[in-house]
Amino acid sequence: MNGEVTEEAAGDIGTTVEDVVSGSCIVDQFQRLADLDDQERALLAALEGELETFEADQLLLEAGQPASEFYALHSGWACAVRFLPDGQRQVLDIFLPGQLMGLHEIGLAHAQSELVAITELEACAFPRQALSEVFRRSPKLAEMFFLSLAREQAMLTERIINIGRRPANERLAHFLLEMQARLDPETPIVDLPMTQCLIGDALGLSAVHVSRTLSNLRDEGLIDTDTGQVLLMNREALVEMCSFDPVYLDARRRWLDQA
Amino acid sequence: MNGEVTEEAAGDIGTTVEDVVSGSCIVDQFQRLADLDDQERALLAALEGELETFEADQLLLEAGQPASEFYALHSGWACAVRFLPDGQRQVLDIFLPGQLMGLHEIGLAHAQSELVAITELEACAFPRQALSEVFRRSPKLAEMFFLSLAREQAMLTERIINIGRRPANERLAHFLLEMQARLDPETPIVDLPMTQCLIGDALGLSAVHVSRTLSNLRDEGLIDTDTGQVLLMNREALVEMCSFDPVYLDARRRWLDQA
DNA sequence: CGCCATCTTGAGGTCTATCAATTTCAGTGG
DNA sequence: CCACTGAAATTGATAGACCTCAAGATGGCG
Each residue of A31-71: pLDDT tens digit? Answer: 777 788 899 999 998 888 889 999 999 999 999 988 889 99
Residue B70, classed as helix, strand or coil, is strand
**Does A16 contact strand D, using a CB cutoff of 7 Å?**
no
A164 Cβ contacts chain D strand, under 7 Å: no
Interface size, chain A vs chain B, as Cβ–Cβ contacts under 8 Å: 154
Between A149 and A227, name the one with better pLDDT. Answer: A149
The band of B6, judged by pLDDT with boundaries at 50, 70 and 90, is very low
Q: pLDDT, tens digit, for every residue of B178-230? A: 999 999 999 999 999 999 999 999 999 999 999 999 999 999 999 999 777 99
Average pLDDT over residues A16-38: 66
Q: Model confidence over B141-190: pLDDT tens digits?
A: 999 999 999 999 999 999 999 999 999 999 999 999 999 999 999 999 99
Contact flag B88-A165 (C-beta cutoff 8 Å): yes
Q: Which residues of B touch A146 (CB under 8 A)?
A: 131, 135, 142, 145-146, 149
pLDDT at position A169 over 90 = yes
Nearest-5° angle of CA B15, CA B16, CA B18?
115
Range of A101-115, A201-215, B40-54, B56-70 with top mean pLDDT? A201-215
- What residues 171-230 of chain A have any CB closer than 8 A to a CB of chain B? 203-204
* pLDDT bucket at A257, cuts 50 / 70 / 90: low
Q: Summarize the confidence of residues A102-122 as an average pLDDT.
A: 91
For residue A214, is pLDDT > 90?
yes
pLDDT value, residue A108: 84
User: Which residue of chain A comes nearest to B88, CA vs CA?
Assistant: A165
Judge whether B8 is closer than 8 Å to chain A, CB to CB. Answer: no
Give the residue from B86, B106, B135 with the most A CB atoms within 10 Å of its CB, the best one to mutate: B135
- Residue B32's pLDDT band (cuts 50, 70, 90): confident
Q: Which residue of A lies nearest to B160 if distances are taken between CA atoms?
A: A160
pLDDT at B251: 61
Instruction: Answer whether B143 sits within 8 Å of A161, measured CB to CB.
Output: no
Per-residue pLDDT, averaged over B50-61, amounts to 94
Q: What is the pLDDT of residues B237-257, one digit of tens each?
A: 999 999 999 999 876 655 555
Confidence of residue A14 (pLDDT cuts 50, 70, 90): very low
Rounded, the Å distance between the CA of A68 and C1' of C12 is 54
Strand C nucleotides where any atom sits below 7 Å of a protein CB: 5-11, 15-20, 24-27
pLDDT on residue B250: 78
Please indicate if any CB of chain B lies within 8 Å of the CB of A87: no
Is B109's CB within 8 Å of A147's CB?
no
Check residue A3 and give its pLDDT.
Answer: 39
For residue A200, the one-letter residue type is G
- Say whether pLDDT at A30 is over 90: no
C-alpha torsion sign, points B90, B103, A251, B156 = negative
Pairing of strands B121-127, B51-54: antiparallel
The answer to whether B163 faces chain A, any CB pair under 8 Å, is yes
Question: If you average pLDDT over every residue of chain A, what do you get?
Answer: 87
What is the model's pLDDT at position A226? 75
Q: Is the CB of B163 under 7 A from strand C?
A: no
Choose the mutation target among B79, B108, B198, B257 for the interface with A, i.e. most A CBs under 10 Å: B108
